[in-house]
Structure 1
């Protein structure tokens, strides 16, 4: 099978984890309220772990292997600041789709990077695809619950919308495959940008003792803390 079709199918499967998460949110319900709450928190924690593993195991290592310390750190910070700006904007327009926007905001750049990874024969391409799918599942779960609690759309329509959004993955992957395979610096920048955004999202939406209502700076502390560790690693590595 040509690599471009492998990239398309792989990103589509990773994207379909979003409607699968929505289906789980719709169907898995316990009679005991405490069990429902525990299940939701467990799924959220699983998503945080999957997001963190994508950053720590694939996106950042691949990014810092190509870029020098200052550009690498800059792109990671820009990613965090961009997600913070998106978070502020969504809060000001009072939309119920903040989880949905966050899910798409990291799915699209990751899919671009994944398409480029397949084009260059990167050994971590399938690992990255698996991690994208693992993080999309709980993100789809959370985004569905957020939308279903404040939306007039039926469950079937919401799940259909999530399925259609999965098509953004192959589109982004083909873009990365065709146009970025010869631009490793751009791929690295995309990976680090996504990493910064993911770190912001983890500590804004998932870590329980970080978020303050109508305050967006605390999660950037996590981004800057990660940047400090990354910079130290890059400066001390041979």
Structure 2
């Protein structure tokens, strides 16, 4: 069955594919929360997982976002959008810090999924790296879920209760599916918009990496966290080349 929306033919398979990819990318945060509840991760293990996730994100941002964006919109626009993304995410990070506690952590979890999910949905059927991007973001979200669970439990807010953590994370996990479908129905074939969104997202990711994730993961200066990032990057690179 083919649906004609805003002049584009959207196949049922593309809708299912978009939902599957964005569901994996989004609900793995919930999986990370569940793992953190069931497994008593040590502080060292949480930092190593955070570092591993950072390595995954570096690979995703470089090979699945910046490189793809340059192909679609050229070098200059990619650089401008990358810088704009870093500035935008610094503002959003300021809002998250202002909220503080569990609400701020959830805002941080949700804000980076919007541009990535839009790009995944828009690229389904036209860009081979859509699956690789969803897979890498999904893996990283598991580690983010583990770390966020521990942060929310330690925060002074209503979200430090385990039941509330699960409910809030489940709600946040729906965002990628919605944004993926928006990208599929309203941005499919718009290569310029896709390229700009990818570059914006990459800039935001690099901001978060260097402002929050990397300093947090390495503040105790242990070799395990460093090699976690190295392994994360190697896996991310392999997925990008093999799947993208």
| TM-score (norm. length: structure 2) | 0.78
* Structure 1 runs (4+) greater than 3 angstroms displaced: 92-99
Hey, what's the Cα distance between the residues in 1 that align with 2:61 and 2:198? 9
> Equivalent of 1:77, from 65, 83, 100?
83
Deviation for aligned residue 1:12 = 0.9
List gaps (5 residues or longer) in structure 1: 31-35, 212-238
Is 1:97–1:143's contact at 8 Å kept on the other side of the alignment? no
Query: Structure 1 residues 92, 170: closer, same or farther in 2, change over 3 A?
Result: closer
Q: Which of 67, 70, 77 is matched with 2:73 structurally?
A: 67
Cα 1:66–1:145 shift into 2, 3 Å: same
Deviation at 1:95, TM superposition (A): 4.3
- Residue pair 1:11, 1:173 contacting (<8 A) in 2 also: yes
Q: Mean Cα displacement is larger for which, 137-146 or 56-65?
A: 137-146
Q: Which residue of 2 aligns with 1:189?
A: 196
Aligned residues: 206
Output aligned runs, 1:1-238, within 5 Å: 2-29=13-40, 36-120=42-126, 122-150=127-155, 151-153=157-159, 154-208=161-215
For 1:114 and 1:142, locate their aligned partners in 2 and report how far apart those are by CA, in whole Å: 25
Cα distance, 1:57 vs. partner? 1.6
d(CA) in 1 for partners of 2:74, 2:129: 21
More helix by share: 2
Q: Secondary structure at the match of 1:167?
A: helix
Distance 1:42 1:209 in 2: 10
What is the Cα deviation at residue 175 of structure 1? 0.7
Q: CA deviation at 1:91?
A: 2.7
The CA RMSD over aligned residues, in Å, is: 2.1
Alignment partner of 1:182: what SS? coil
Which is further off, 167-176 or 87-96? 87-96
CA-CA distance at 1:99 after TM superposition: 3.4
Cα distance in 1 for partners of 2:25, 2:118 equals: 13
TM-score for the superposition, normalised by structure 1? 0.80
